[in-house]
């Protein structure tokens, strides 16, 4: 591990030298490539340098204990040595995590799709609750949110809704949200006060560049129609809404958020590329028999990942066995404890796989 870290530090220093060279500074593409590589190494190199510094201090403390010291000074040095050794152990654990393979999609923006599943109108209302939860979470992180497409119901819920979330690290935090979300509550449509169980599915897709997924014009069919709002209300009487069908896969994407047909087409193409990328990645993983099955789940929408229980004000994430009794705060976008728990569990699974 430490040979690898030394090599990374050497590369980091070489990149610093390259970034100061006039020929690189005058080449925007090269400058951007080297700067990104150095930024990716920065946290690991800083931790490694701190580990070396602590190691040096430990050797100094051990040398001091070999000298003639009065008892008070000896106790002070021993206490300092214990603290330094604990810090070194912490840094070694941090370095192990930093050396884990990084998901190349972690820094990308995301498309988040929510669909009402079992439960009829109550499932559609729950989809709306999840939409608000993710919007509030995005706001708390300083991310920008734009609704790409929404299929409303008469009571103000959603059969399905797609939104784009733009912000650094959006995918790294939201990628574990894919799956089936279950709600247990008394629906507004229930006069007898009985608790119903309904579900909605969430899919989180990284946004990809055109160069990553090339969609041929011959492979798509584009239809236009009038956009609509809640309860079928007409929002735009012109044919501005766009529906794109990818003929080879049958994937269909709609967008009616903009008044401009051209802008709706552009947004729909972004979503289509994301879905095609996700499909290609899933097929690739399925082909690899030895692919790691994370403790936090496969991310498949058919997998039940979380339950929101209103009578007990309880949220349970089934993948990591985490239960919180503050449902209202979670639905208001306070997802940090859950998401951090999922990240820790994923890292633990990766460390276990590396050791195996």
Our CA angle for 259, 263, 267, nearest 5°, is 120
- The DSSP bridge pattern shows strands 314-317 and 304-309 to be antiparallel
Q: What are phi and psi of 103, to 5 degrees?
A: -65, 120
Q: What is the arithmetic mean of pLDDT over 143-148?
A: 91
What's the rounded Cα separation, in Å, for the pair 177 and 130? 11
What's the rounded Cα separation, in Å, for the pair 228 and 223? 15
CB atoms within 10 A of CB 1: 10
Dig out the tokens for 299 from the structure.
């991310």
CA-CA-CA-CA dihedral for 214, 220, 225, 230, to nearest 10: -60
Query: Which residue, among 88, 104, 100, has the nearest Cα to 43 in the 3D structure?
Result: 100
Mean pLDDT, the chain, rounded, equals 85
pLDDT at 79: 94
Better-predicted residue by pLDDT, 270 or 284 = 270
Residue holding tokens 């654990």?
93
Q: What is the arithmetic mean of pLDDT over 241-246?
A: 89
Residues 74-129: pLDDT tens digits?
Answer: 999 999 999 999 999 999 988 887 887 777 788 889 999 999 998 888 999 999 99
What's the rounded Cα separation, in Å, for the pair 294 and 218? 38
Contact between 326 and 334 under an 8 Å Cβ cutoff? The reply is yes
Burial class of residue 109 in the structure, from the number of CB atoms within 10 Å of its CB (0-12 exposed, 13-18 middle, 19+ buried)? buried
């Amino acid at each position: 591990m430490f040979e690898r870290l030394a090599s990374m530090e050497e590369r980091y220093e070489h990149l610093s030298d390259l970034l100061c060279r006039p020929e690189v500074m005058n080449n925007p593409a090269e400058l951007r490539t080297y700067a990104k590589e150095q930024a990716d190494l920065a946290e690991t190199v800083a931790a490694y340098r701190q580990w070396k510094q602590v190691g040096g201090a430990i050797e100094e403390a051990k040398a001091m204990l070999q000298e003639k010291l009065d008892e008070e000074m000896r106790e002070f040095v021993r206490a300092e040595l214990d603290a330094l050794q604990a810090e070194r152990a912490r840094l070694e654990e941090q370095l192990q995590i930093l050396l884990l393979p990084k998901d190349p999609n972690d820094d990308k923006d995301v498309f988040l799709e929510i669909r009402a599943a079992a439960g009829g109108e109550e499932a559609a209302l729950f989809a709306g609750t999840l939409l608000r939860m993710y919007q509030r979470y995005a706001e708390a992180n300083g991310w920008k949110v734009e609704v790409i497409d929404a299929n409303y119901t008469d009571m103000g819920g959603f059969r399905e809704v797609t939104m784009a979330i733009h912000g650094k690290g959006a995918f790294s935090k939201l990628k574990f949200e894919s799956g089936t979300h279950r709600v247990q509550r008394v629906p507004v449509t229930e006069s007898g006060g009985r608790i119903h169980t309904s579900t909605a599915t969430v899919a989180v897709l990284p946004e990809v560049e055109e160069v990553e997924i090339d969609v041929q014009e011959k492979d798509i069919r584009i239809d236009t129609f009038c956009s609509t709002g809640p309860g079928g209300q007409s929002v735009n009487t012109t044919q501005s809404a766009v529906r794109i069908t990818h003929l080879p896969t049958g994937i269909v994407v709609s967008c009616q958020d903009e008044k401009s047909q051209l802008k709706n087409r552009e947004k729909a193409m972004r979503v289509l590329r994301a879905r095609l990328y996700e499909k290609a990645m899933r097929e690739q993983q399925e082909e690899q028999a030895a692919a790691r099955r994370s403790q936090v789940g496969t991310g498949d929408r058919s997998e039940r990942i979380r339950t929101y229980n209103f009578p007990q004000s309880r949220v349970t994430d089934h993948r990591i066995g985490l239960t919180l009794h503050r449902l209202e705060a979670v639905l208001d976008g306070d997802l940090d404890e859950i998401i951090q728990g999922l990240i820790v569990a994923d890292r633990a699974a990766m460390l276990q796989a590396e050791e195996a």
